[in-house]
Each structure stands twice: as C-alpha cells, then as structure tokens.
Amino acid sequence: MVPACKPFPGASPSPLPETTPGAPLGVSDLQEEGKNAINSPMSPALADVHPEDTQLEENEERTMIDPTSKEDPKFKELVKVLLDWINDVLVEERIIVKQLEEDLYDGQVLQKLLEKLAGCKLNVAEVTQSEIGQKQKLQTVLEAVHDLLRPRGWALRWSVDSIHGKNLVAILHLLVSLAMHFRAPIRLPEHVTVQVVVVRKREGLLHSSHISEELTTTTEMMMGRFERDAFDTLFDHAPDKLSVVKKSLITFVNKHLNKLNLEVTELETQFADGVYLVLLMGLLEDYFVPLHNFYLTPESFDQKVHNVSFAFELMLDGGLKKPKARPEDVVNLDLKSTLRVLYNLFTKYKNME
C-alpha cells in the first residue's frame, strides 16, 4: 500500500513577500496606464505583457518576469533543466510538461510529481475543472510540500494564489526547493537572478516597481554541502592554477590505472560512470573487485550512480573520510566534485609505489 502524504494541520501557504510601491500613476485609462507603469528603462520589451496583467482590483498585485530576463541564458537553462527533470520523474505517468506556468498551475502535475518523489499518495480529486477545485487541490499539495520543507527552515516563496495565477517566479522557487529537498540528480545553474516587474493597485492608483529575485545560489549552498574548501577558493579566485591541479591528479591516477592498460586524459568525463573509480580503489588497496558488484559498462544514469556510490563505500572501507561530493554530481560531470574525490585519494595514496 502506498503511504499517504502527511499534511500538517492548520498550515496555510506563505504569500509572496511584499515590495515597496513606487510613485502613483494616473487612472484615466487603466489598461494603457498599466502598460506605461511597466514600460520603464529596465523593461523595454512588452511582448509578454498581456492586458489582463494590468486590469487589477483594489489592493491586487501582479508580478511578471521582465522580458529581458527571460532571454538570459542562465534563466533558459534553469527552466530547461527543471522541465527535463519533471518529465524524467513522470515518464511512467506518460505526462509531458512543455511549459511550466501553463502545465503546473492547476495542481494536477504538481500532485503527481510530489507523489512520485515522496513515494506517497495525496487525498485529492484526480481531475478538477473549476477554479475552486483547482485551488483546493493546490492547497493540499502545497501543505504537503510545506510539511516536508518547513523543518529545513527554508523560506516558502509561493502561495496557492501565486501558483494558480501562473506566477513563473513562484513556480520556479517551488521547483528549485523540491529539487534541493529530494536531492534531484540534476545540476541547477548557479546564481540565476531575474528582474521582476511588480504592479499593484492601491486607492484607485497603479504603483509599479522592479525587484531583483534570486532563483538559485551556488550548488554547495543549494544542496546543503559542507563548509567551503580549497577547491572553492581555487575555482573562484585562482582558475589559472586549475590546470596544474588537474595535471597532478591525472599523473597520479594514470600511475595506477596504467597497470590495467587504462589511461585518463579528461578527469570530468572519464570518472563520470564510476568504473575507473571502482578499479582505482581496487588498485590502491591491492584487491580484485568482483565484477558482479558494479556495472562494467553502465548505460543508465542509475547504473552510473550505483558505481560511484559503490566506489565511495570502498573508500570508507579503506579508512577515508566520506567524500563531500554526491555521486550524482560526479555522474553529472561536475568537475569540482570529481576533483574533491580524486584529491582525497591523492592525499592518502600519493606515496605508493
């Protein structure tokens, strides 16, 4: 039996943070003046601003990503990575998500995604057409999400209204948080920030402002890694020395892998399937690793993660500390993670004959 997701009593989704309004605008023509409010030097392109975005009720607020931010390569990469991840998770459900705000706003896909990730079953109607029904489903789904995320102390930067209102910033915040919590085997682009246009109607007047919204930080911070180390400093402040470190590590691993007529030229790619890591541990610890313990020719992502995880177990058995890297990061060609793993081996075995 599939366990039920546990919503916590009395929980209500947190609203998006408020921002300070700008100077009031005239209201002789609400739609035209709403467009004028958005038409600032920071937002020259209005192709994505629709009339309904400027027809507001009293105290209502609309937010939208500045069109120029949507063209940023990092933003596009973030959206693509999350889309691919959702579709991979839901492949058995035969669900294909093509556009985040259009496909996730009613709670149907979010329900399936959470159930698949958490291995649980939510007590909600499968299909809801009415706005009230959709919001009720979203409420249940988001309460379950909050139940998972609240112990981590993370800010919850979305609400039922923002998700149902197809607020892409809120949807991205939600998906990034889910990817972080469930340690998704993906690599989110770092330091993705967008400019957000905020339009609010107060006392019959429209107020507009721009805010900068940070969607991702660094991989280490997002995935809850340990404290910064020498490799963080190397990548951030001395990239010119990176080639020297890579050369030293290549020399070290080839000294041992050459015994099996194997040779490494690219650290980030040739260790990504875990095979060389497993074989290297056998050479360093002087034992034969039975072939049934790992995949000699891994094909799937899961098989590669299995290999790297198995190599990590061999490292622990050899008296090494648990690697700071995640197996998924090594498989995803994260050079910094691969260097950390190999340097850990280098410091212990560098004087071996």
| DSSP string of 27-56, one letter each residue | -SSHHHHHHHHH-STT----TT--GGGT--
How far, in Å, CA of 327 to CA of 273, rounded?
10
Confidence of residue 307 (pLDDT cuts 50, 70, 90): very high
Name the DSSP letter for residue 187.
-
Is residue 158 within 8 Å of 173, Cβ to Cβ?
Answer: yes
Among the listed residues 96, 66, 87, 101, the one whose alpha carbon sits nearest the alpha carbon of residue 171 = 101
Q: Is 92 exposed, middle or buried (0-12, 13-18, 19+ CB in 10 A)?
A: exposed
Every domain of the chain and the residues it spans:
60-223, 227-350
User: pTM for the whole thing?
Assistant: 0.55
Confidence of residue 43 (pLDDT cuts 50, 70, 90): very low
Residue 22 or 183, more confident: 183
Write down the pLDDT at residue 155.
Answer: 72
Confidence of residue 233 (pLDDT cuts 50, 70, 90): low
CATH superfamily for domain 227-350: Calponin-like domain (1.10.418.10)
Q: CB within 8 A of 316, min separation 6: which ones?
A: 322
Q: What mean pLDDT comes out for the span 225-243? A: 57
The three-class DSSP label of residue 18 is coil
Confidence of residue 296 (pLDDT cuts 50, 70, 90): very high
Q: Which two tokens stand for residue 256?
A: 């041992």
Domains 60-223 and 227-350 share a fold: yes
Write down the pLDDT at residue 44.
Answer: 35
How far, in Å, CA of 35 to CA of 309, rounded?
54
For residue 267, what are the CA distances in angstroms to 200, 277, 316, 327?
52, 11, 22, 15
* pLDDT, the chain, mean: 79
Write the CATH number of the domain with boundaries 60-223.
1.10.418.10
Give the neighbor-by-neighbor strand order of the sheet with 193-202. Answer: 61-65, 193-202, 205-214
110-114, 195-199, 214-218, 222-226: range with lowest mean pLDDT? 222-226
For residue 296, what are the CA distances in angstroms to 161, 290, 317?
50, 10, 21
For residue 146, what are the CA distances in angstroms to 63, 154, 175, 214?
23, 9, 13, 20
Among the listed residues 176, 174, 192, the one whose alpha carbon sits nearest the alpha carbon of residue 184 = 176
The three-class DSSP label of residue 273 is coil
How far, in Å, CA of 305 to CA of 300, rounded?
9
